[in-house]
Amino acid sequence: MSKKMLGDLMRQAQKLQEEMMKAQEEAKKKTVEATAGGGMVTVVASGSGAIVSIKIEKDVVNPDDVEMLQDLILAASNEAIRRAQELVSSDMSKLTGGLNMPGMGDLGGMFGR
Residue 49 three-state SS:
coil
Q: How large is the average pLDDT for residues 13-17?
A: 85
- CA 106 to chain CA centroid, Å, is 10
Question: pLDDT tens for residues 87-112?
Answer: 888 877 877 775 655 554 444 444 44
Mean pLDDT of the chain: 84
Tell me the whole-structure pTM to 2 decimals.
0.70
The rounded distance, in Å, linking the Cα atoms of 28 and 79 is 17
pLDDT of residue 106: 45
Q: Between 23 and 38, where is the model more confident?
A: 38
Question: Crossing angle, helix 66-96 and helix 3-29, to 10 degrees?
Answer: 150
For residue 92, the SS3 value is: helix
What percent of the chain stands above pLDDT 90?
Answer: 46
Rounded CA-CA distance 20/94 in Å is: 10
User: Is residue 22's pLDDT more than 50?
Assistant: yes
The beta-strand segments (E) located in 1-113 are 31-36, 41-46, 51-56
- CB–CB of 88/37 below 8 Å? no
CATH fourth-level superfamily of 3-96: Nucleoid-associated protein YbaB-like domain (3.30.1310.10)
